[in-house]
Amino acid sequence: MLNVALPKGRLGEKVYAMFEAAGFECPSIKEQNRKLIFENEEVGVRYFWVKPSDIAIYVERGAADIGVAGKDILLEYSPDVYELLDLDIGKCRMAVAAKSDFRDDPQRTLRVATKFSNIAKSYYTSIDRDIDIIHLNGSIEIAPILDLSDVIVDIVETGKTLKENDLEVFETIVPISARLIANKSSFKFKNEQIEKIVREISNQLEAKND
């Protein structure tokens, strides 16, 4: 049985569609209920819905053989997993944003509010800028408005959240998309099934880009 962690939500539905088209269908997953685990013994697959930011934990510890996680989570937590494929969905970017009148004063330590402390730290280290990290768990956009921080480092997808809070992007740090990841020992012991999924999904991606 191949255990697959899917990110709960709209992205997860797109991911499931890719697995289904790859021959790993599990019709019971489409039933409208609150169950979190679904399996299809015939094709040897078990899916479970997981909070997107937790997927890498399940895969790293082997509770899932494979899963789909955002590059943001992989960069932030550096889980010990194999990154097998860029699925070209869930696309957004990690960016620095601030109020439009913000001007950086290099003499002062920059106050950075973020959920992604490691990404922010390595970005500012790379440009040799002193910062003070203010770690928040959500609603990051409020921080510069209330002068809790000078800038934020956060995910920008459509840009709507920033716009509605009168903030703008100052720098893009890195583009983000969903990645297929595998547990390292599962990759060895369930290699045939995993390679089949990688092959089938790569073909789907190629066909999409043709």
Residues binding ligand PRP (CB under 6 A): 138, 140, 154-161
Amino acid found at 104? D
Amino acid found at 63? A
Task: Specify the residue, 32 or 158, whose C-beta has the smaller distance to ligand PRP.
Answer: 158
Give least dist CB 185 to ligand PRP, A.
31
Task: Specify the residue, 103 or 160, whose C-beta has the smaller distance to ligand PRP.
Answer: 160
Give least dist CB 117 to ligand PRP, A.
14
Give least dist CB 19 to ligand PRP, A.
23
Task: Specify the residue, 21 or 174, whose C-beta has the smaller distance to ligand PRP.
Answer: 174
Give least dist CB 154 to ligand PRP, A.
5
Task: Specify the residue, 161 or 177, whose C-beta has the smaller distance to ligand PRP.
Answer: 161
Query: CA-to-CA distance for 89 and 11, rounded, in angstroms?
Result: 8
- At residue 70, the 3 state secondary structure works out as strand
Task: Specify the residue, 35 or 163, whose C-beta has the smaller distance to ligand PRP.
Answer: 163
Query: CA-to-CA distance for 192 and 189, rounded, in angstroms?
Result: 8
Query: CA-to-CA distance for 181 and 62, rounded, in angstroms?
Result: 11
Give least dist CB 164 to ligand PRP, A.
8
Query: CA-to-CA distance for 29 and 45, rounded, in angstroms?
Result: 12
Query: CA-to-CA distance for 90 and 157, rounded, in angstroms?
Result: 9
Query: CA-to-CA distance for 149 and 143, rounded, in angstroms?
Result: 5
Task: Specify the residue, 2 or 73, whose C-beta has the smaller distance to ligand PRP.
Answer: 73
Q: Which two tokens stand for residue 176?
A: 């983000």
Give least dist CB 115 to ligand PRP, A.
6
Query: CA-to-CA distance for 87 and 74, rounded, in angstroms?
Result: 14
